[in-house]
Amino acid sequence: MARIVVLGSGFAGNTAALNLKKALGRKHEVIVVSPRKNFSYIPSWIWVGVGSMKPEKTQFDLTPVYKKFGIEFKNGAAEEIHPDSVDQYVVVKYADGKTERVKYDYLINATGPKLNFAATPGLGPDEGYSDSVCSLPHAVKTRDNFLKAVEKMKQGKRQKFVVGTGHGTATCQGAAFEYIHNLEFEIAKRGLRDMADITWISNEPMLGDFGVGGVVVRRNGNFISGKLFAESTFREKGIKWIDRAHVRNVKEGSLDYVNIEGKEGTLDFDFAMLIPPFAGIPISYIDKDGNDIKSQLCAPSGFMKVDADYTSGAKPFEEWKNSDWPKKYNNPLYKNIFAAGIAFAPPHPISKAFKAPDGTLIAPSPPRTGMASGIIGHTVALSIIDMIKNGAEEPTYSASMAEFGAICITSMGKSMIGGSAALLTMYPVIPNYDKYKFGRNLNYTFGDIGLAGHWVKYMLHYLFIWKMKGKFLWQYIPD
């Protein structure tokens, strides 16, 4: 009997766990370790943050799902991994302070990101002055602060809103872009638009970059860039923007930034929602002599190294190759340890990285979206199944972000009648300028905007929750 331990129950971990158990049945053990017993449909937190969706609609309890599947669930946090012991194990810490050693034959690290607010002084809702939609409690607090600002506008007090990224290396520009449009939509819906100054600030080298090096689509014979698209949505709604910027610090009611050219500035705000940079979840890696071997298994960011070419990060942008990106997501030192979803260390950014004259790095980190995380979690599960059932000595399944595409649906306002969303497909996720003029295959890279996009976005919310609950025909819903 093999024992597979999955750390994390998000898009990557839950997808891996359900597929593993379905294929391996009772003969093998699947254990999920996670400090939260809920699955969260994170993409809808942008709606929670403006009060257009109830928080409880975005999550559900995984306990009955795991019970039905026969998956053992340990409601604690992985603190240490001991990959060198005769019995390889994870130390799990529970809320009451007790710890347990959980042995594994195969381990999947799908722990997602640590929200690294500390990287920018004053950033974040807990110890700083800005809001966030990157956890459910943060999104609820953001909603409350947004609604307070709405009340002030109703009383005739003009409000300044700032939305974007809170650090030069932050990712998730797409989520911030959705949030600013939903914020504008909610303000306009209440007839208060002329009371609000709304400003976008981001580390993208140009508007519409979204951390994926931008995108070009062909429509009606014309080539349209993500830059043109993003700019036109901001112009249409009277949203000002600052791009190519690193937020140096956030204070009560203002933030300081520097841009790629070295231009410094200060933005005043009454409300600011700024996405923090991400780091790996702090887990220790200990060898059989008790030494800390984290630097051998993880990148300096704390994300786990997999089968990527990490030497490529030192090369200039022009020399980055699609083959730098991982395919099988196994750790090079321990072939029974995998990292899936946000937990794996990317070899380098996707967008071109810049430095301000003072050396400040302004380089969006690569997004690893929910769809990519699900695909990677599923791929890793298939390799482990092959290793267990068929005795494969190496992981056999691959899914490189340089070889698969993505569908991104960007909400621009939530309403079944007056809402809209931009629907964008891109193939592949990592642009390949050697093969395609604009980096991507334009037969599979297209975009459209409208009410239908909102319906699709809304439908996906329920479809994915259905799938993540492992309900009837869940396995046929694409990752």
Contacts with ligand FAD by CB under 6 A lie at 7-13, 33-36, 42-43, 45-46, 77-78, 110-112, 133-134, 172, 175, 281, 283, 341-343, 368-371, 373
For residue 24, count CB atoms less than 10 angstroms from its CB and return exposed for 0-12, middle for 13-18, buried for 19 or more.
buried
Least distance CB 34 / ligand FAD (angstroms): 4
Using the minimum distance from each CB to ligand FAD, give the nearer residue, 153 or 211.
Answer: 211
Least distance CB 172 / ligand FAD (angstroms): 5
Least distance CB 449 / ligand FAD (angstroms): 15
> Which pair of structure tokens corresponds to residue 129?
């002055």
Using the minimum distance from each CB to ligand FAD, give the nearer residue, 195 or 399.
Answer: 399
CB 257 within 8 A of CB 246: yes
Using the minimum distance from each CB to ligand FAD, give the nearer residue, 82 or 368.
Answer: 368
Q: What is the DSSP string of 103-142?
A: E-SEEEE---EEE-GGGSTT-STTTSS-B--SSHHHHHHH
> Which pair of structure tokens corresponds to residue 36?
């939260």
Strands 29-33 and 3-7: parallel
CB 30 within 8 A of CB 58: no
CB 12 within 8 A of CB 341: yes
Using the minimum distance from each CB to ligand FAD, give the nearer residue, 7 or 149.
Answer: 7
Using the minimum distance from each CB to ligand FAD, give the nearer residue, 164 or 341.
Answer: 341
Q: How far apart are the first and last CA of the chain?
A: 28
CB 309 within 8 A of CB 402: no
Least distance CB 64 / ligand FAD (angstroms): 16
Least distance CB 303 / ligand FAD (angstroms): 10
Least distance CB 124 / ligand FAD (angstroms): 13
Using the minimum distance from each CB to ligand FAD, give the nearer residue, 134 or 260.
Answer: 134
d(CA 27, CA 76) in angstroms, rounded, equals 25
Least distance CB 385 / ligand FAD (angstroms): 19
d(CA 450, CA 458) in angstroms, rounded, equals 13
